[in-house]
Amino acid sequence: MGLDLSGAADFSNAYNGWWIQPGLDYKAGVSETVGFSARVFSDYASANYMDEFFSISSSQSARSGLRQFNADAGWKDVGLSLGVNWQFAANRFTGAVANYARLIGDAADSPVARSAGSKNQAAGGVYVGYKF
């Protein structure tokens, strides 16, 4: 089990925002070839990030019909990620991951989530890999 911190920042000057994501990870080997992972996390986003993805200006409101909204910096979600990994050959592996996050704060209060989207965010995927 361990604590971690990840994040990203916009270096392209599109909106000059950033977010950070502290998390708590747990990994366990179910067998010699199968592993399980779980991660609890939350995202904190800057005002510019929140404005870009959750605010609605007067012109956007006129075009979309959604009410105007100004999102401020703050915690935007809490979530859980679950994964399984199978090493089926010496250098080959496959697995799957599922991710669920619940929008909170201004992200959840935004008409982008309330009217046009959802406070519940889910994603998943499968992968195949090769270790060199």
Q: What angle do CA 93, 97, 103 make, to 5 degrees?
A: 160
pLDDT at 110: 97
Q: Where would I find the H helices in the chain?
A: 47-54, 58-64, 105-109, 111-114
- The answer to whether 100 and 120 are in contact (CB under 8 A) is yes
Q: How confident is the model at residue 116 (pLDDT cuts 50, 70, 90)?
A: confident
Residue 56: count of CB within 10 angstroms of its CB: 22
pLDDT at 66: 94
Running DSSP on this structure, what letter comes out for residue 59?
H
- Average pLDDT in the 58-71 region? 96
3-state secondary structure (DSSP) of residue 89: coil
pLDDT at 83: 98
3-state secondary structure (DSSP) of residue 129: strand
Q: How confident is the model at residue 67 (pLDDT cuts 50, 70, 90)?
A: very high
